[in-house]
Chain A
Amino acid sequence: MSGNMNLTLKVWRQKNAADKGQFVTYKAADISPEMSFLEMLDVVNERLVKGTQDPIHFDHDCREGICGACSLYINGRPHGPKQAITTCQLHMRSFHDGEIITIEPWRATAFPVIKDLAVDRSAFDRIQQAGGFISVNTGGVPDANEIPISKVVSDEAFNSATCISCGACVAACKNASASLFVSAKISQLALLPQGQPERYRRAQAMVAQMDKEGFGNCTNTGACEIECPKEISLTNINRMRRDFYNAKFFKEEEIN
C-alpha cells in the first residue's frame, strides 16, 4: 500500500533477568501509518516467528488505554512521543518513513526485566497491598447524595483513581521515583469519606513499602505528570506529603 513506511527498530533484547541484554536492530518494512505501535510490533514478531526467531516480548492486554499493561520507552520517552496516551494508543503516523525507533524497557531497579521489553511491576502490587485499600466492607453502591461529598472533591478523587499503574511515572523520572503512582493510590482514598479511618496508617504504610522496593526520591522535576497517560497531577504527590508529615509529626495516635 502506498504511504506505508519502512522503519528501523533498535530493540532491547534480554533473554531473562540474569542476562546482560543488548540492542538488536530490526527492519520493519511496509508498516501502515494506521497501525498502532503494538500492531507494528505484532507484524515484526510475525515475521520473526516465520523466520523461526524468538519474538520480541512486550506487555499488552486491553489495547485501548485502560489496563496499564503496555509499557515501552520509545525514543527517550515512556509511551512514546505523544502525551496522555499509552503505547497501545500510539499510532505509527506519529513517526515518519525511514525513522530509527529506539525501544527500551522501563529502567528501574525496582522493575527488573523479565524478558526483552517486559518488566516485573509487582513492586506496585506490593505497595498497594501495604495499604491501598479500605479494610471494612463499604457496602453496595450508595444512593445519590447519601454520602455527603462535594462534586469538586469527588472529581479530584476520581482523577486520582484513573491511575492505571503502568509505571510510566517511574520510567520518566530521572530518579526512578514511584511518587506519582503511590500518591495517586493514597489520594483516591484519602479524598473520600470511606478512606478516612485508615488515611494516615495508609500513607505511612505505602510510603514505607515504596522505600523498601528501592524507588528513588521525588525531586519535583514534574516529568511524571507530563508523561502520565492518565494525566495524574503532581498535586497528588504534595497531598501524599501532607498526609505523611501529618501522620509522622502531628498525629501521635497514627504513627506506625
Chain B
Amino acid sequence: MGSLSKAFSSTLGRKLIMGLTGLFLSLFLVIHLIGNLQLFKDDGGKAFNEYSYFMTHFLPIKIVSYILYISIILHAVYALIITARNKKARTIQYAQYNGAANSTWSSRNMGILGTVILLFLVIHMKTFWAEYHWGGLPYVQYEMSLENPNVVTVTQLPFEGKELVHAEYVNVQNKTEVVVAKDLYFVVKDAFSNVWYVILYVFSMIVLGFHLYHGFQSGFQTLGFDHVKYKPIIDFAGLWVFSIIIPAIFAAMPIYMYFAQ
C-alpha cells in the first residue's frame, strides 16, 4: 500500500488518475449519447422514460454509475492538485508568452474548459438527475394496443403530492400493454422550452468538444500509449468522434426539443 500510494502521488501517477478517469468519462459519453437518442423518437417519451427507469434500476448500471460519480470527483480534484503544482512550478510568469507557436489552444486551457464543464454538470444533474431521483415528478401512462403496437394512448398523470409507482402490465380486458413511468421526458421538454437553457447546453457542448480535442488523445498518451501506427487512429477519433460528432449530437437534442414543441 505504501508503494502504491507513493506511485499515485508522483506527477506521473496523478496524471495516470486523470487519464484513466478522463477516458472512462469519455466512454460514458458514448453510452449516454446512445441512450439519449431515445429523445428523438416521436412516441411521447415512452422509450426515453423506459430507458431512464432501466438506467436507475438495473444493478450493474447502478454500480457503474457510482464509479462514474467517483470518476467525476477524482478528475476534478486531481485537476486542482495538478494545477496547483503547475502554478507552483512557475511562480513568475513570462512577460511575453507565445503559446500558440508550440501548442493548441485547447491543450493550454484544459482547466478553464474543465471548470465550465463542471459547472454545466452541476446544472445538468440538478435539472434532470436530482429531479428524477428526489423531485416530485409527474407520471405518464402509455397504453399500447396488443393487436396494433403502433396505437399508443398517452395519459399524463400529474404530481399530486404523492409519487406513483413504476408499473408494466398487460390489461387482458382492453387487450393493451400498459406502462406507467416517471415522466422525465416531460422535465426534459419543459427545460428545453427555455431558449436560455438551449443556449447554455449548446455552448457547454462546444466547450466539451474543445476539452476532448486535447483530452481524448492526451489520455492515451498519459497511459503511455502512442504507437506510431495507432496514434493517428486515436487522434482521428479524438477529433471527429469525441470533439465534433458526439458534442454535435448532444447539442442537437435541446435544439430539437425546443423546435419540436
Contacts and interface: CB of A to CB of B under 8 A. Distances in A.
Most buried by A among B11, B88, B214: B11
A218 B11 contact: yes
A235 B103 contact: no
A207 B101 contact: no
Give the interface size bracket for B toward A: 35 or more
Given A176-B89, A238-B224, A221 B104 contact: yes
B107 A176 contact: no
Contacts, number: 130
A154 interface: no
Interface string B28-64: 0000000000000000000000000000000000000
Most buried by B among A174, A175, A240: A174
B223 A241 contact: yes
A41 interface: no
Interface in A126-182: 172, 174-177
Interface stretch (A60-68, A73-81, A192-200): A73-81
Interface in B205-261: 214, 217-218, 221-226, 228
A172 B15 contact: no
Given A208-B10, A248-B7, A220 B107 contact: yes
Given A207-B11, A220-B221, A175 B97 contact: no
Contacts of B4: 248
B89 A76 contact: no
A23 B14 CA distance: 37
B98 A238 contact: no
Give the interface size bracket for A toward B: 35 or more
B222 A220 contact: yes
B136 interface: no
B85 A216 contact: yes
A237 B14 CA distance: 15
A81 B228 CA distance: 28
A124 interface: no
Contact of A104 (B95, B99, B217): B95
A217 B107 CA distance: 13
Interface of B: 3-4, 7, 10-16, 82, 85-86, 88-99, 101-104, 107-108, 110, 214, 217-218, 221-226, 228
